Each structure stands twice: as C-alpha cells, then as structure tokens.
Structure 1
Amino acid sequence: MKKITKIILADDHDVVKHGVEAIIRQNISGPIVIKVASTNELRNQLLVHKDIDLVILDIKMPGGNTVDIVKDIKANHEDIKILMYSAHDEPQYAVNFIRNGADGYLSKSQPLEKIALAIKVLENGKRFVDEAFDGDLINRKGEKDLSLSNLLSHREFQILSLLATGKSNIDISEELNLQKSTVSTYKKRIMQKLNIDNNIGLVDAYRTDFKISSN
C-alpha cells in the first residue's frame, strides 16, 4: 500500500478547493496540498513536483479537455492516482473517465467526507466509483466489465493500441519515449494477460474490443 500524502487539487472554484482541502487535512497526517485552477497550472505543477501521489481533478477545467489531461498524466506519470470530482451525476461520465485511465470518480452531490474514503480506497490499489455509478461498469451478464481497458493498465492498453496500428517496438519506444526493452516487457505482459502468443492475435483482440466498446 502506497500512502497518499502529496496531492494536487485541481478545481476552478475556491469554495470547493477549501472544502476538499479541509477534509484531506482532517484525515491525512501532514499532507502537502497544491491547489490549481486550470489545466495549464496543473501541467506546470506536475513538471515542478515529481513525487505527486494523487490528483483530484474537476471534470471541467479552464484550459483544456480533462479526458486528454487524464490520458497525459497516465502516459507520463503512471504511478499518480487520479480521482475525478464531478458535478455530473450521469453514469456515462464515470464510465468514460475510468476507461480513459482515471482511478476513481466521485460526484460532488455526495457528502464531502467521501473524499477521505476515496483516498483510502485508492491507497489500497483499488478503483473507487460511487455506488450510484458502479452498476454501469457491470456487463449484461452481471460480471465486471472485461473490456481490454479494464483488463490492462493504461500504459499496456496504450501500447496495444499502437501495436494494432502496425507500429513496431522501435516506433512505439520513440513515440512514447520509452526504452525498447521496456516496450518489449509491456508487450510480453499484455500477451500473458490476454493469453495470446503472436502479433496477429493481439491485433484481433484489440479490433474485437473496439467493436464491442463502440456498440
């Protein structure tokens, strides 16, 4: 379990930031809380601070698309947890952000104290989703959603999607600024998780998943 002690709180409403910070300080000993009001400020703080544990991110922020922000954080800072904090109660928002790499989704309509619960869940390496949304992450057979975006980590899914476009390990290593050996390790891990032993099988799995997710 990795303790969460250094947090970026990204919201353009000061009242929200102050309320969330108060809850964090009540439940975490000596936390470092960095408050930002735009996606540009968030990006800058991530460049300055290399040891951030958690980003609590408002679903709508000045300066950029928050789905893209989530993808960027996970691509460049895989160990950082992301908790979306949203005024939207519609379940499709939760599903969309979780599938794009967020580790949790909490509605602002819930009691503020749930922030503390969400942090504890994320510390234990689990995903946090409001009970109101969790049913939408269940498939029609009553099982947990087994789409590739749930089976694989964000980085693994990202590499699989690039492999599916025909890119080589060298191409991917250059595009993602990774060592070729690191890409090879991710590829082996993907094959193990999906029980696939060749590139054709990986491409077929990705295309099948894309068709299902698009329906």
Structure 2
Amino acid sequence: MKKISKIILADDHDVVKHGVEAIILQNISNPEIIKVASTNELRNQLLAHKNIDLVILDIKMPGGNTVDIVKDIKSNYEDTKILMYSAHDEPQYAVNFIRNGADGYLSKSQPLHKIALAIKVLENGKRFIDETFDVDLINKMGENDLSLSNLLSHREFQILSLLADGKSNIDISDELNLQKSTVSTYKKRIMQKLNIDNNIGLVDAYRTDFKIKAS
C-alpha cells in the first residue's frame, strides 16, 4: 500500500478546494496540499514537485482539455493517482475518464467525506467509482460494447454533451474555442455515427446512451 500524502487539488472554484482541503486535513496526517486553478498551473506544479501521490481534478478546468491532462499525467508520472471530481453524474463522463487513465471518479453531489474514502481506496491500489454509478455497467461500457463513449471521440462526446445541455453551435464554439464551422462539422459527424438526423434525437441518444447495433 502506497501512502498518499502529497496532493494537488485542481479546481477553479475556491470554495470547492477549501472544502476538499478541510476533509483531507481531517483524515490524513500532515499532508502536503498544492492548490491550482487551471491546467497550466497543474502542469507547472507537476514539474516543480516530484512524487505527487494524487491529483484531485475537476473535469472542466480553464486552460486545456482535461482528458489530455489525464493522459499526460499517466504518461509522465505513472505513480501519480488521479481522482476526477465532477459536477456531472452521467456515467458516460466516468467511463470516458476511466478509459483514459483516471483511477477514480467522484461526483460533487456526494458528501465531502467521500473524498477520504476515495483516497483510502486508491491507497490500496484499487479503482474508486462512487456508488451513484453502476460499476458493472461502467466496466462493460469501458470495453468493447457500442456505448457512446466508444463510438465517439472525446471531442465528439464533449460536443454532444454540450448539445444535450441546450447549448447552440455558437455557444459551443465560444466555450471550446472552436470555429463555428468546426462545431458544425463535428455535429454532422456525430449524426452520421449515430444514424440520427435531428437535435432531439441527439439529446435522446446522449441521455439514454443509445447504442448502434453492428451491421
């Protein structure tokens, strides 16, 4: 069992960082806690501090794609655990990050004390997924079935989730810093992959994790 004591909290909301920090201080003896508010700060702190045991990472951070950050951490700091801390309860998000290397996924809707539980689970070399999710379903979705997270690229899935949130192409282009024409291209590609020709169908597909049967 590898003791977790050196932790980076990566979240752009101070109230979240303070709450998580308080729980860690109550449950871990003399932890070293580094707080950052963007992906650029996170990268800098990973370079500056050796042997980070755990990164607690919000899934939406200013400065970059968090899936890319997860991949980079696992490529360059293989002993560093990653716990995604998310406002999204949909299993597709958990699947997407677990598939790309995250060691755990915890919803922000859960009580703060679950942070301590998640850390203990990760210390024991196990993956942590909070109880709001069907773990067997997530294990299945992460492998070879035809769930949305497997059918779509990360960017396609990201755009689909924003469309399901009611965002327009212009809203999405602003949020993801993409050209409107690029968003339109992604949207067309998603529709082709899912064999859907309207926005209502896309929203329904996202919400029900619509699966395309192999031809």
**Which secondary structure state, in structure 1, belongs to the residue aligned with residue 101 of structure 2?**
coil
- Cα deviation, 1:161-206, whole Å, max 9, x if unaligned, reads xxxxxxxxxxxxxxxxxxxxxxxxxxxxxxxxxxxxxxxxxxxxxx
**In structure 2, what residue type is equivalent to 1:136?**
L
Q: Which residue is equivalent to 1:136?
A: 137
After TM superposition, give the deviation of residue 135 of structure 1 in Å: 3.6
Return 5+ residue gaps in structure 2 as ranges. 145-212
**In structure 2, what residue type is equivalent to 1:88?**
H
TM-score, with length taken from structure 1: 0.65
**Which secondary structure state, in structure 1, belongs to the residue aligned with residue 126 of structure 2?**
coil
**Which secondary structure state, in structure 2, belongs to the residue aligned with residue 119 of structure 1?**
helix
TM-score, with length taken from structure 2: 0.65
**Stretches of 4+ aligned residues off by more than 2 angstroms:** none
**Which secondary structure state, in structure 2, belongs to the residue aligned with residue 136 of structure 1?**
helix
After TM superposition, give the deviation of residue 99 of structure 1 in Å: 0.3
CA RMSD of aligned residues (A): 2.1
- Cα deviation, 1:79-123, whole Å, max 9, x if unaligned, reads 000000000000000000000000000000000000000000000
Q: Contact 2:91–2:138 at 8 Å: present in 1 too?
A: no
Q: Which residue is equivalent to 2:93?
A: 93
Q: Which residue is equivalent to 2:122?
A: 122
Q: Which residue is equivalent to 2:17?
A: 17
Q: Contact 2:81–2:122 at 8 Å: present in 1 too?
A: yes
Return 5+ residue gaps in structure 1 as ranges. 148-213
Question: Structure 2 vs 1, CA of residues 76 and 138 (structure 1 numbering), >3 Å: closer, same or farther?
Answer: closer
Q: Which residue is equivalent to 2:35?
A: 35
Q: Contact 1:71–1:101 at 8 Å: present in 2 too?
A: yes
Q: Which residue is equivalent to 2:77?
A: 77
Q: Contact 2:87–2:109 at 8 Å: present in 1 too?
A: yes
After TM superposition, give the deviation of residue 131 of structure 1 in Å: 1.8
After TM superposition, give the deviation of residue 146 of structure 1 in Å: 5.6
Q: Percent identity?
A: 83
